[in-house]
Amino acid sequence: MSTSEKTRKQTRTEGAVKAGDGRHIFPLTQMAGIEAGTGYSTGAGPVVEGERMQCALVTKKRGTGSNPHHHPNEQWNYIVKGKLRVKVGDEPEQICGPGTLLYFPANIVHYTIATQDEDVVFFAVKDMTHGIIGIPVDAKQGAYTGAKK
């Protein structure tokens, strides 16, 4: 296998699935998931990487989510189920539900936390300049679990 072929088959995010080379259709709801925010988030789900874009179907259990973090790549989240408390940069926190498209610019601190009502499912899309996992503002905080520390 040539170096370019090997590079095409590797994923930027450990546990992600690589698209292409005959792999074009992905049953996301039936695929194994990975942690989508190791060290700062409870989000988990299947991740598929192409050459320039990556997609994930992320679930956050009710009352849990991410502590403030950022990443060098842009991110879009489309909420499929449930409601999220969302904070982007200096904007006020908002409650967002199904049918809402969220945009997180590169390097902007943000967080999303599932409300207590139900688990949240969202479809995430990011460019491939970085993997699916972001960078926590305070690594000591860990994931947001709703538990008081």
Residue that wins the pLDDT comparison between 147 and 70: 70
How many Å apart are CA 107 and CA 89, to the nearest integer?
A: 10
**Which tokens in the block code for residue 88?**
């982007």
pLDDT-based confidence at 148, cuts 50/70/90? low
Identify the pLDDT of residue 95: 98
Identify the pLDDT of residue 101: 98
* Overall size of the chain counted in residues: 149
pTM of the model: 0.91
Please state, as a whole number, how many other Cβ atoms lie within 10 Å of the Cβ of residue 22.
5
